[in-house]
C-alpha cells in the first residue's frame, strides 16, 4: 500500500476483516510474516494503513466474548468461537481476536512503544458474496446464493469444519448460526468520495449489526447534562469536544471527561433499549480493566441498588408469528455521562454501545415462513446493536 502511494501519489486505506475466525492472528503479539514482536514502526504503519476494523459481519460478532468480559451481560451475542477453517479454537486465542480486548492491550503497547497498533475505528460489513446488502433479520439472503431463502441447505450448510482438526475435535459452524449483519456508518460532511474517505481515515464511524439506527457521541471536559437536547448539539460537540474516533486533549486540573450521546432508532425497525458506555483503562500497575456503564434507557426502570444492574427492557417477540411490538423501548434516547472514576494518570478509552429491544432472529422468520423447525442452539430473538469508534485519553507528562 505504501509503495502504491509513493508510486502514484494516490491514497490507500484498508479495513481489517473481523478476526473471530483468525485463531488468534488478528491481534497477535508478533507480525504475521516475520513473527517479530510488534515494535513502534509496525504500530504506526498499521494504524496509518488500517485505521478501521470490521467488528461485526455475517460470520458472527467480534466486540467481546463472555470469557473476556464476564461482567458484561450482553457479551454473548452471535459468537463464533469454535474454530477457523482448518482447526478448532484454543482458549488462549480468544484475547487476540476481539475488539474490546485489543483496545485494552493497545494501551499497554502504547505505554511500552509510544504507539498503539490497535487504535482502530469500528465498522460493520456483510461478508456476503451475493452482492446484496440484506442485513435485516426479515430479509437475510445468506452468505452465498446456495443458501438463499428456501434452499434445502439454508440452515445446515457448513461454514467451518470441512477440514479435520489435528486433535480430532468438531468445530463445525453451520449457516443457521450466521448473522444478518452488518453495516458501516460514516459521519461525513458530504456524500462524496473525498468526505467519506476523510471521515473513515479519522475514524468517525460506527458499526451496526444490520440495523440502521443512528448514534452520535462527543467527549470533552466541560459538557453539561442539559446540553444533550441542545439544537446545536453537533456544533457544540465539535467546537468543545471530540467525536467518535478522536483523542481527548490534555486533562484540565481537577476535571473528568464528560460525554453527550444521541441515539435514534431505525425508522423501519425496533425501539431502543439503552445507551451504554464501555470504558477500558490501564491502572498504574499496568493491569487492564473494563466496565460497562448504563447511561440512558427507556421506561421507568431503575438499577438494582445492590448490583447496579438495570432490569431487562422486556421481550414482545411472538416466536410463532416471527413478530414483535414497539410497545416497549423508546424511539430515541439522549444521554450524558461523566466518568466518576477518572484518573488523569491512566490511559483509557470510551466507546458507546446502543441496544435495541428484542426482535425475531432471521432463523425465526425462516421457520415461520417456510414452516421449519427452529434450530435449538440459536436464540429465537436477539437485541440488535451499534458500536461507535472509541474516544481515547492519553496522559500528558507535565513539567516539574
Whole-number pLDDT of residue 398: 57
Contact criterion met (CB below 8 Å) for 272 and 213: yes
Q: pLDDT tens digits, residue range 286-330?
A: 999 999 999 999 999 999 999 899 999 999 999 999 999 999 999
Let me know if residue 42 belongs to a domain.
yes
pLDDT at 163 over 90: yes
Let me know if residue 259 belongs to a domain.
yes
Let me know if residue 399 belongs to a domain.
no
Q: Find cell 473476556 and name the residue.
A: 68
Domain count, the chain: 1
Let me know if residue 371 belongs to a domain.
yes
pTM: 0.96
Let me know if residue 218 belongs to a domain.
yes
Residue 114 Rama label (left phi>0; alpha psi -120 to 50; beta): left
Mean pLDDT of 265-272: 98
Whole-number pLDDT of residue 400: 46
Let me know if residue 398 belongs to a domain.
no
Q: pLDDT tens digits, residue range 11-48?
A: 999 999 999 999 999 999 999 988 999 999 999 999 99
Let me know if residue 400 belongs to a domain.
no
pLDDT at 260 over 60: yes
Question: What's the whole-number average pLDDT of the chain?
Answer: 96
Whole-number pLDDT of residue 26: 96
Residue 323: domain span: 2-393
- The share of the chain scoring above pLDDT 70, in percent, equals 99
Q: Find cell 430515541 and name the residue.
A: 332
Which DSSP letter does residue 93 get? Answer: G
Let me know if residue 284 belongs to a domain.
yes
Whole-number pLDDT of residue 231: 95
Predicted confidence band at 133 (pLDDT cuts at 50, 70, 90)? confident
Whole-number pLDDT of residue 399: 54
Amino acid at each position: 500500500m505504501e509503495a502504491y502511494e509513493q508510486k502514484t501519489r494516490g491514497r490507500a486505506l484498508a479495513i481489517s476483516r473481523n478476526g473471530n475466525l483468525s485463531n488468534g492472528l488478528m491481534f497477535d503479539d508478533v507480525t504475521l510474516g516475520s513473527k517479530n514482536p510488534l515494535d513502534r514502526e509496525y504500530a504506526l504503519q498499521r494504524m496509518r494503513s488500517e485505521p478501521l476494523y470490521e467488528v461485526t459481519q455475517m460470520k458472527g460478532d467480534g466486540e467481546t466474548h463472555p470469557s473476556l468480559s464476564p461482567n458484561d451481560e450482553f457479551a454473548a451475542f452471535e459468537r463464533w468461537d469454535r474454530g477457523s477453517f482448518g482447526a478448532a479454537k484454543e482458549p488462549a486465542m480468544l484475547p487476540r481476536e476481539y475488539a474490546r480486548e485489543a483496545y485494552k492491550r493497545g494501551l499497554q503497547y502504547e505505554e511500552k512503544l509510544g504507539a498503539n497498533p490497535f487504535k482502530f475505528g469500528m465498522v460493520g460489513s456483510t461478508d456476503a458474496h451475493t452482492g446484496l446488502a440484506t442485513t435485516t433479520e426479515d430479509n437475510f439472503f445468506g452468505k452465498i446464493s446456495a443458501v438463499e431463502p428456501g434452499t434445502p441447505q439454508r440452515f445446515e450448510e457448513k461454514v467451518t469444519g470441512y477440514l479435520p482438526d489435528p486433535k480430532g475435535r468438531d468445530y463445525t459452524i453451520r449457516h443457521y448460526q450466521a448473522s444478518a449483519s452488518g453495516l458501516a456508518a460514516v459521519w461525513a460532511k458530504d456524500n462524496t468520495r473525498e468526505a467519506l474517505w476523510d471521515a473513515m481515515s479519522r475514524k468517525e464511524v460506527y458499526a451496526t449489526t444490520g440495523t440502521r439506527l443512528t448514534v452520535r457521541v462527543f467527549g470533552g471536559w466541560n459538557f453539561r447534562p442539559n446540553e444533550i437536547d441542545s439544537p446545536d448539539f453537533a456544533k457544540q460537540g465539535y467546537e468543545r469536544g471530540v467525536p467518535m474516533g478522536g483523542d481527548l486533549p490534555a486533562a484540565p486540573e481537577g476535571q473528568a471527561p464528560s460525554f453527550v450521546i444521541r441515539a435514534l432508532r431505525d425508522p423501519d425497525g425496533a425501539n431502543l433499549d439503552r445507551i451504554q458506555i464501555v470504558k477500558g483503562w490501564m491502572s498504574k500497575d499496568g493491569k487492564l480493566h473494563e466496565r460497562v456503564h448504563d447511561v440512558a434507557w427507556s421506561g421507568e426502570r431503575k438499577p438494582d441498588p445492590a448490583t447496579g444492574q438495570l432490569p431487562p427492557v422486556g421481550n414482545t417477540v411472538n416466536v410463532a408469528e416471527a413478530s414483535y411490538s414497539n410497545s416497549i423501548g423508546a424511539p430515541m434516547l439522549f444521554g450524558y455521562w461523566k466518568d466518576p472514576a477518572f484518573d488523569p494518570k491512566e490511559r483509557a478509552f470510551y466507546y458507546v454501545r446502543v441496544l435495541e429491544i428484542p426482535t425475531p432472529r432471521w432463523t425465526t422468520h425462516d421457520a415461520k415462513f417456510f414452516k421449519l423447525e427452529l434450530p435449538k442452539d440459536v436464540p429465537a430473538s436477539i437485541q440488535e446493536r451499534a458500536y461507535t469508534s472509541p474516544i481515547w485519553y492519553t496522559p500528558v507528562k507535565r513539567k516539574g
